[in-house]
Amino acid sequence: MIKIFCHNGLWEEIKDAVYFGFQLQDWIAFADIETMKPSASANHLIVDKGYIILPVDWQNAMPPYLLPEKILFNEKVLLALVMIRLGEFEKSLQLISFSPTLKAEFQIIIDLMEGGEIDPQLLSVETYQEFDDYRLMHNHAVIRHYGHVTNPSKVDYYYQEATMSAPTEEYAAFSAFHYFNYLFDEGRFSEAEGQLRRIQTAEVSQEGKMKIQAALAHLSTQLLSPPYDKEGLTTLKDKLWQCLTYYEIHGFKVEEAQCLLDAGLIANFSESFAEALGYYTKAVKLFQEEGMEEFAYQALLQKARLLTIWAQKGNPQFFKPAMEAYQQASRFFTKEYFPVAYAEIQESLGIIYSEIPDEVKKKSVWAAVSASSFAEALTIFTKEDFPYDYARVCSHYGNALMKYPQAVRSDNFVKALSYFQEALAVRDAENFPVERSITILNFLEASWYADNSNDENNPGRLYEMQLRIDELIAINAGEEFVQEAKLHQEKLNQLKSIIAEEGKS
């Protein structure tokens, strides 16, 4: 719904002209500017004192391209602004065609919405007053950041210039927020945080404050790593809860859903699994209500991951709903259009199929579909293109093989060793000390159970086990790894002693 804020008398004068026979009554609402405050959304248009004024769009209802601060009121301009918001691009351009300058700017906005290529040389302003100078810098940054530009250089420069030249703290915050998004996507997390920390939020609208707070909370959530600080998690959760409460009261469903995902992650880290499940379930529902299908399925994936962790923590009844959630998500994240997400789903299903409890006679069936899922994941996560992911899948496949019922014609443990070897070929000690140490422990565990029928003593395997134990101690990725290595060493020494005694007899 698009709301036009103006005085009651003016609305009576312009409403028929605004509708122009387009039957827009269901899409446009009037709000008396004297009794209701516009929200910081592109879907709120203000007509006051002969001008059309556009609020700062903190709701991302439109691309963050800035039009002139005040546009001289004209019924066709107002209707063109409505039409572009309804996705009626041709009608919008026709209505605004009397103003070549505005038409050119409308075309840029349409290109941003449709993913068309944009030439930065098209950007211009009619005057170089304070706001125009600022919006020129901001728009240069925006089209290089969000648009399809042949040479998207100087994004940092334009965002920084926009932030410094902004006429108010509100606009400075708006530019800084989108610069934050750019830096976050680039993995420049410290710089991203710095951009928002510098904003004087006391001078920013409540919508802007909540957006900044939610963005900083999201960054902090994404950077969390074990061991988790309980006090820090509580503080972060409180900040998110403030945002959630605000967004729920004001009906900002997308923003609420995004915060729910972060809240779910924090609850997950706190092992408050039931609480996290509630957050994810609600986020899926909100994204669906807003027609944001991909976001809804992304939230469903997070819900599936939570259910898997919950099941692995001693609650196997959650394996089945986790499996169903992944299967549902795979119908959207297909191999053709979302190969990476598809491969991750297949990997997760492979793990679930190997661990889901069932009757003994059905375990072979689960093992078969598990192996098929891992094999499918490896068609995407190849060693050449995705070495890190390849190693992870191989490690998970090796662990799964040790859980499968023993095959008649092959040894699952010997096969597991081959996959652990593949993982170790990627997980070197310098770059992945923890992952390599975990894989070595898995390798040692499988080695104890592997078939030695060709040579009961199998000196080659014993020699390799000794090398792995020595390496595990040398890597020293943590005391727990060293202690595990010593236990394997003790067990191996005992075996060597038995073999030596048998050799004497």
**pLDDT given for residue 75 in this prediction:** 86
Residue 209's pLDDT is: 95
Q: How many angstroms separate the CA atoms of 351 and 309, rounded? A: 11
Q: pLDDT at position 409, please?
A: 61
Please provide the DSSP assignment of 266-329 as one string: HHHHTT-HHHHHHHHHHHHHHHHHTT-HHHHHHHHHHHHHHHHHHHHTT-GGGHHHHHHHHHHH
Whether pLDDT at 270 is above 70: yes
| Amino acid occupying residue 347 | E
Higher per-residue pLDDT: 229 or 20: 229
- The band of 6, judged by pLDDT with boundaries at 50, 70 and 90, is confident
Cα 263 to Cα 231, 241, 302, 350, distances in angstroms = 15, 8, 12, 28
Q: State the Cα–Cα distance between residues 187 and 191, nearest whole angstrom.
A: 9
Q: What is the mean pLDDT of residues 190-207?
A: 94
Distances 379 to 64, 326, 402, 419 between C-alpha atoms, Å = 39, 18, 22, 15
What pLDDT is stored for residue 155 in this prediction? 95
- Nearest in space to 42 (alpha carbons), one of 53, 63, 27, 57: 57
Q: What is the pLDDT of residue 239?
A: 95
Q: What is the pLDDT of residue 454?
A: 57
The Cα–Cα gap between 17 and 25 comes to 12
Rounded Cα distance, 167 and 272, in Å? 45
pLDDT value for 24: 64
Q: How far apart are CA 142 and CA 249, in angstroms?
A: 30
Nearest to 286 by CA among 306, 258, 310: 258
Long-range contacts of residues 427-432, Cβ cutoff 8 Å, at least 24 apart:
427/391, 429/471, 429/474, 429/475, 432/391
- Among 68-77, 117-126, 378-387, the range scoring the smallest mean pLDDT is 117-126
Closest by CA position to 250, among listed 14, 18, 59, 401? 59
Distance from the Cα of residue 90 to its chain's centroid: 34
Q: Give residue 456's pLDDT.
A: 54
Angstrom CA distances, 21 to 12, 25, 77, 86, stand at 16, 10, 16, 15
In this predicted structure, what is the pLDDT of residue 18? 58
- Residue 81 binned pLDDT confidence (cut-offs 50, 70, 90): very high
Within 10 A of 361 (CB to CB), how many other CB atoms are there?
8
Model confidence pLDDT, tens digit, residues 115-149 = 988 988 888 776 667 899 999 999 999 999 999 88
Other Cβ atoms closer than 10 A to 153: 11
Mean pLDDT across the chain = 91
Dihedral sign (CA 139, 142, 146, 151): positive
Per-residue confidence (pLDDT) for residue 33, from 0 to 100: 86
Helix (H) or strand (E) holding 208: helix 206-222
314-334 pLDDT, tens digit per residue, is: 999 999 999 999 999 999 999
Locus of tokens 């203000």: 46
Helix (H, G, I), strand (E, B) or coil at 427: coil
Residue 457 is predicted with a pLDDT of 56
* C-alpha neighbours within 13 Å on the C-beta side of residue 126: 11
51 three-state secondary structure = strand
Bridge partners, 5 (sequence order): 31, 46
